């Protein structure tokens, strides 16, 4: 028997056979994977997972592919860092960073979704893959296409950070730089989607793509010693990741693999310049209003999030909350995480850290509770935004006199004397 029974509309419940389709024909709602639990449950245990590879594929039984992984075999199993120093600043004794800034191979959580989507793309028989991207997905699709021998077409907004553009071109993808924001890139790709018969990872492969994010949640629970955290703070762009982390925790619970159930509250983090999801949650609105993004946090600048409702429902159902921060606070968040934990995150991570700080200040976490901050991308890719924001270098001639003078001038002698 197959692991996946089919696809089901999250909105109206209509069911579909396994195919590269992503929206319900009846209501345009998102389609989700229906796993065959009867087949899966008997063969999954803590021991079976722990005996698996040190990658996201240790959870192969719970991912929507039928064969072995063929693309992205080393993705995932990133560190869950106990953040003692940041915890001191925020008044939290059990604060953790799930650090996908060092995910293999392209340094963001997107490697998880792409490994899953391209392994499925090969099973479907596609030769060409594509995506609409704010940068991280572009990097990941391009790299994995190179690994898997696919031709790749990557669509990005024209004003992306250089690191993200170069980090796509290097793998040999065809990069189409679109004059417009991500929502406009999205619309173009939706219209182009089926015309060329490509595997668009976030369009026609969306159900298979999305489930790769569940591994972010599985890993958190396993790395905490098979228990779910009390709180998880997640950056929101399209709104999928936050719901998949929550889904992942509940799936482990369903399998009886975690102790203490899932008390987890989920928190959405956005930048004020693009906050359709957090605004709706904070105002108690049923309907989110799309926005025209204006923020330095470009990787999460999606004004019309496809899974916005799913994200809102996840936050509400879990008893969590949401908040948003200014671009200045995004920079503060990047500096704070770097200074306290030695982790350099991109702008989205700056958003998440600063929102976590705000939530802590609002008293939403008890000091002993387990809080996880989802860091999903790497700061080396968005260097432009921190240029001139991180202090300055001290220029000297290569001799000791010059060093002495510089240390005196900079008032650093105290530390030099030690």
Partner 1 sequence: MAISVLIPTPLRKFTNNEESVTAEPGTVASLVADLERQYPGISRSLLDDKGELRRFVNIYLNEEDIRFLEGKETPVNEGDSVSIVPAIAGG
Shortest reach from residue 23's CB to partner 1, in Å: 4
Beta strands in 160-246 (DSSP E): 174-178, 199-200, 231-235
Does residue 231 bind partner 1 (CB under 8 A)? no
Nearer to partner 1, 164 or 272 (CB): 164
Answer for which of 292, 317, 339, 405 binds partner 1 (CB under 8 A) is 292
Does residue 302 bind partner 1 (CB under 8 A)? yes
Nearer to partner 1, 277 or 359 (CB): 277
Nearer to partner 1, 113 or 221 (CB): 113
Does residue 278 bind partner 1 (CB under 8 A)? no
C-alpha 198/C-alpha 35 separation (Å) is 25
Nearer to partner 1, 83 or 234 (CB): 234
Does residue 144 bind partner 1 (CB under 8 A)? no
Footprint of partner 1 on 335-374 (CB under 8 A): none
SS3 content of the chain, % helix, strand, coil (to 5): 45, 15, 40
Shortest reach from residue 200's CB to partner 1, in Å: 8
Does residue 273 bind partner 1 (CB under 8 A)? no
Question: What single DSSP character describes residue 29?
Answer: P
Question: What single DSSP character describes residue 110?
Answer: H
Footprint of partner 1 on 45-84 (CB under 8 A): none
Does residue 22 bind partner 1 (CB under 8 A)? yes
C-alpha 58/C-alpha 384 separation (Å) is 36
Shortest reach from residue 47's CB to partner 1, in Å: 34
Does residue 382 bind partner 1 (CB under 8 A)? no
Q: Considering only CA atoms, which of 189, 217, 214 is closest in space to residue 115?
A: 214
Q: Name residues whose C-beta falls within 8 Å of residue 376's C-beta, 6 or more positions apart in sequence.
A: 100, 101, 108, 109, 136, 235, 241, 348, 349, 352
**By CB under 8 A, which span of 48-56, 306-314, 353-361, 397-405 interacts with partner 1?**
306-314
Does residue 24 bind partner 1 (CB under 8 A)? yes
User: How buried is 363 (Cβ within 10 angstroms: 0-12 exposed, 13-18 middle, 19+ buried)?
Assistant: exposed
Half-sphere exposure of 96 (CA within 13 A, CB side): 23
C-alpha 56/C-alpha 231 separation (Å) is 22
**By CB under 8 A, which span of 52-60, 304-312, 335-343, 398-406 interacts with partner 1?**
304-312
| Structure token pair of residue 284 | 């108690």
Footprint of partner 1 on 102-131 (CB under 8 A): 110, 131
93 three-state secondary structure: coil
Answer for which of 29, 76, 148, 217 binds partner 1 (CB under 8 A) is 29
User: How buried is 40 (Cβ within 10 angstroms: 0-12 exposed, 13-18 middle, 19+ buried)?
Assistant: middle
Shortest reach from residue 203's CB to partner 1, in Å: 6
Answer for which of 136, 181, 352, 382 binds partner 1 (CB under 8 A) is 136
Number of residues that bind partner 1 (CB under 8 A): 50
Q: Considering only CA atoms, which of 184, 183, 99, 118 is closest in space to residue 374?
A: 99
Does residue 413 bind partner 1 (CB under 8 A)? no
Cβ(152)–Cβ(141) under 8 Å?
A: yes
Q: CA angle 91-94-98, nearest 5°?
A: 110
Answer for which of 229, 239, 248, 333 binds partner 1 (CB under 8 A) is 239
Does residue 254 bind partner 1 (CB under 8 A)? no
C-alpha 407/C-alpha 154 separation (Å) is 49
Give contact residues for partner 1 (rule: CB under 8 A).
11, 21-30, 110, 131-134, 136-138, 182-184, 186-187, 189-191, 193-194, 202-203, 206, 209-210, 237-241, 287, 289-290, 292, 300, 302, 304-307, 309
């Amino acid at each position: 028997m197959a692991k996946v029974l089919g696809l089901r509309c999250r909105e109206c419940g209509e069911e579909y056979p396994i195919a590269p389709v992503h929206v319900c024909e009846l209501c345009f709602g998102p389609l989700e994977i229906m796993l065959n639990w009867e087949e899966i449950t008997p063969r999954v245990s803590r021991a079976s997972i722990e005996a698996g590879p040190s990658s996201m594929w240790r959870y192969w039984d719970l991912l929507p592919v039928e064969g072995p992984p063929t693309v992205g075999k080393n993705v995932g199993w990133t560190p869950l860092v106990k953040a003692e120093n940041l915890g001191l600043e925020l008044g939290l004794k059990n604060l953790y960073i799930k650090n996908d800034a060092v995910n293999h191979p392209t340094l963001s959580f997107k490697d998880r979704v792409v490994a899953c989507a391209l392994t499925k793309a090969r099973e479907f028989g596609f030769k060409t893959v594509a995506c609409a991207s704010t940068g991280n997905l572009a990097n990941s699709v391009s790299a994995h296409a190179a690994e898997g021998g696919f031709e790749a077409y990557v669509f990005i907004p024209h004003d992306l950070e250089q690191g993200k553009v170069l980090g796509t071109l290097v793998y040999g993808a065809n990069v189409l730089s679109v004059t417009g924001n991500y929502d406009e890139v999205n619309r173009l790709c939706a219209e182009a989607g089926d015309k060329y018969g490509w595997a668009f990872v976030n369009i026609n492969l969306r159900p298979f793509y999305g489930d790769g994010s569940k591994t972010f949640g599985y890993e958190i629970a396993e790395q905490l010693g098979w228990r779910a955290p009390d709180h998880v703070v997640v950056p929101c762009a399209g709104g999928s990741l936050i719901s998949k982390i929550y889904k992942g925790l509940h799936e482990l619970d369903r399998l009886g693999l975690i102790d203490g159930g899932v008390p987890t509250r989920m928190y959405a983090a956005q930048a004020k310049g693009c906050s359709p999801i957090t605004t709706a949650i904070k105002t108690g609105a049923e309907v989110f209003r799309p926005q025209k993004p204006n923020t330095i946090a470009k990787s999460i600048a999606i004004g019309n999030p496809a899974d916005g409702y799913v994200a809102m429902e996840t936050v509400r159902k879990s008893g969590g909350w949401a908040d948003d921060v200014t671009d200045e606070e995004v920079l503060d968040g990047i500096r704070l995480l770097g200074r306290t934990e030695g982790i350099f995150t991109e702008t989205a991570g700056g958003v998440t850290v600063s929102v976590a700080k705000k939530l802590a200040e609002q008293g939403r976490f008890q000091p002993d509770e387990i809080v996880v901050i989802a860091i999903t991308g790497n700061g080396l890719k968005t260097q432009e935004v921190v240029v001139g924001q991180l202090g300055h270098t001290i220029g000297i001639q290569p001799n000791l006199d010059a060093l002495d003078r510089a240390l005196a001038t900079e008032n650093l002698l105290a530390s030099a004397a030690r």
